[in-house]
Structure 1
Amino acid sequence: MPLTTLLELLERLDEAHIQMLDLAAFKKQTIMDNKVDGLIDILNRESKLMKLIEQLEEQRAQAAYAFLQGVGIRSNLNLNLSELSRLVFDPEDKSRLLHIQQKLSGTLRRLKQANELNQKLIEQSLTFIDYSLDLLVGRPNQDFTYHHPSDKGSGSTRPGLFDARG
Structure 2
Amino acid sequence: MSIEVIYATLEKLERMHKSLLELAFKKTELIKTNNMEAIDQMLKDEQAHVAAIDKLEQQRQKTVTEYLGAKGFAPSDKTTVADVIKVADNDADKQKLEKVRSRLLLIIDDLRKQNDLNQKLVFQSLQFVNLTLDMLRPQPEQINYSGGEVRGTNIISKKTYFDSQA
TM-score by length of 1: 0.84
The match for 1:125 is: 125
Report if aligned partners of 2:6, 2:60 keep a CA contact under 8 Å in 1.
yes
The match for 1:95 is: 95
Moved more, 70-79 or 47-56: 70-79
Name the CA shift for 1:40/1:146 in 2 (closer, same or farther; >3 Å). same
- Aligned counterparts of 1:2 and 1:59: Cα–Cα separation in 2: 14
The match for 1:52 is: 52
1:77-112 deviations in Å (ceiling 9; x for gaps): 522222321101211100011101110100000000
The match for 2:141 is: 142
Moved more, 129-138 or 21-30: 129-138
- Aligned counterparts of 1:54 and 1:113: Cα–Cα separation in 2: 20
The match for 2:65 is: 65
Report if aligned partners of 2:18, 2:107 keep a CA contact under 8 Å in 1.
yes
The CA deviation at 1:2 is 2.9
- Aligned counterparts of 2:115 and 2:27: Cα–Cα separation in 1: 9
Aligned length: 156
The CA deviation at 1:135 is 1.3
The CA deviation at 1:142 is 3.3
The CA deviation at 1:73 is 2.3
- Aligned counterparts of 2:115 and 2:163: Cα–Cα separation in 1: 40
- Aligned counterparts of 1:49 and 1:14: Cα–Cα separation in 2: 12
Report if aligned partners of 1:9, 1:56 keep a CA contact under 8 Å in 2.
yes
- Aligned counterparts of 1:132 and 1:28: Cα–Cα separation in 2: 22
Structure 1's consecutive aligned runs of 4 or more residues displaced over 3 angstroms after TM superposition are 144-147, 151-159
1:17 aligned onto 2:17 = yes
Name the CA shift for 1:133/1:68 in 2 (closer, same or farther; >3 Å). same
Percentage identity across aligned positions?
Answer: 26
1:118-150 deviations in Å (ceiling 9; x for gaps): 0000000000000011112233x1316698xxx
Amino acid in the other structure paired with 1:32: K
The CA deviation at 1:158 is 7.3
Report if aligned partners of 1:2, 1:63 keep a CA contact under 8 Å in 2.
no
Higher strand share: 2
The CA deviation at 1:21 is 0.3
Question: Does 1 or 2 have the higher relative contact order (CA < 8 Å, sep 6+)?
Answer: 1
The structure with the larger Rg is 2
Name the CA shift for 1:67/1:128 in 2 (closer, same or farther; >3 Å). same
- Aligned counterparts of 1:34 and 1:137: Cα–Cα separation in 2: 23
The match for 1:163 is: none
